[in-house]
Amino acid sequence: MSEFASVLRAWRDRVTPAEVGLPSGAGRRTSGLRREELAALAGVSVDYVVRLEQGRASNPSPQMLRALSVALRLTDEERDHLYRVAGAAPPSAGTVPRHIGPGVQRIVDRLGDVPLAVFSASHDILLWNPLWAAIGGDPAAHTGLDRNLVWRHFTAGHAGVEFDAQHEEDFASDLAADLRTAVGRYPRDAALAHLVQRLRTSAPEFERRWAEAKVAEHRSSRKTLTDTPVGPITVDCDVLTAPGSDLRIVVYTAVPGSEDEQRLDLLRVTGTQRLSATPA
C-alpha cells in the first residue's frame, strides 16, 4: 500500500461521525468515517475514495487534496504531508492560506446559534454554517470570483444588505485596504493578483480606492439583511482572525432583547429547516 493510501485510510478511521456533524448510528464496524461519508464531505464519488485508498487513482488535483484535508480535519503539517505523498507541492508560504484546520472547524461547529462564515485573507468564502446561508443566501450557489466578497461588493453591489452612509463608506474602504494588505503579505499568490487586476479594470470604484494606497484590515460593521425569510434583521458583523492561519471568522450577532434578536431566533428554526429540506 502506498503512503498516500495508508495515511488516507488511517486519517479516515480516526475521524468520528460526531466530529463532522453526522449521526453515529448503530451497527458500525468502525468508529471512524465510512468511505461514503468521506466521499460526501469531500464532494467526490465513493468509487474515487475506494480507488484512492487502494492506490488505483493517481495524481489527485490540489483542489481534491484540499477537500480531503478539510473533510479529514488535518493539521497544517498533515495537510502538507498529504500533498507531498500525492506528488503535489504543498501550498506555498507566499500564497493565501485556505486550509481550514481542526481548531477553526470546531469553532464553526460549536457556534451554530449565530450566522458564521470563514473567509481567506483575500475574502474568498471557504466555509459557512446553515444559519449564515439562511440569513444571506447559500454561497454554494456561486462559483469562481462570485465566491469572493470584494469582487461581489464592487461589481454586483450589495442587494439584500443595507448600511447607513458611514458604515457603507467604511466597509468599501476597508475591503480595498484589506486586499492591499493581503497583496503585501502574499506576493506570490497568483489568484490574488488576478483578483486585484480584474477589480482594477472592471470596478472604477475599487480602482479609486486602490489608488488611495490605504493599508488596513476590516474588523467590524453594522448592516441590515433585508431579504431573510423572517424579515429584515440588523446585525453587528465582527471579524476575528484565527491564530496562526490568517483565516477570517466572520460572525453576525443581534442586540440582545431586540426585535432583530427575536427574528434571528425564528430564523434558526424556519430558515435552517427550509435549507435542510431543499434537495441538493
At residue 27, the pLDDT reads 65
At residue 105, the pLDDT reads 86
C-beta of residue 135 within 8 angstroms of C-beta of residue 114: no
**pTM attached to this predicted model:** 0.77
Domain ranges of the chain: 3-85, 102-277
pLDDT tens-place string over residues 149-169: 999 999 988 778 887 777 788
More confident residue, 233 or 137: 233
24 pLDDT more than 80? no
End-to-end, the C-alpha distance of the chain in Å comes to 35
| Interacting residues of 59 by C-beta distance below 8 A, sequence separation 6+ | 86, 87, 88
Q: Closest Cα partner for 176 from 153, 159, 147?
A: 153
CATH number of the structural domain 102-277: 3.30.450.180
79 pLDDT more than 50? yes
Architecture field, domain 3-85: Orthogonal Bundle (1.10)
pLDDT tens-place string over residues 26-58: 667 777 898 999 999 888 999 999 999 888 877
pLDDT tens-place string over residues 83-141: 999 988 888 778 898 888 888 888 888 888 899 999 999 999 999 998 999 888 889 89
Question: How is residue 175 written as a grid cell?
Answer: 475591503
Distance CA 271, CA 275 (A): 6
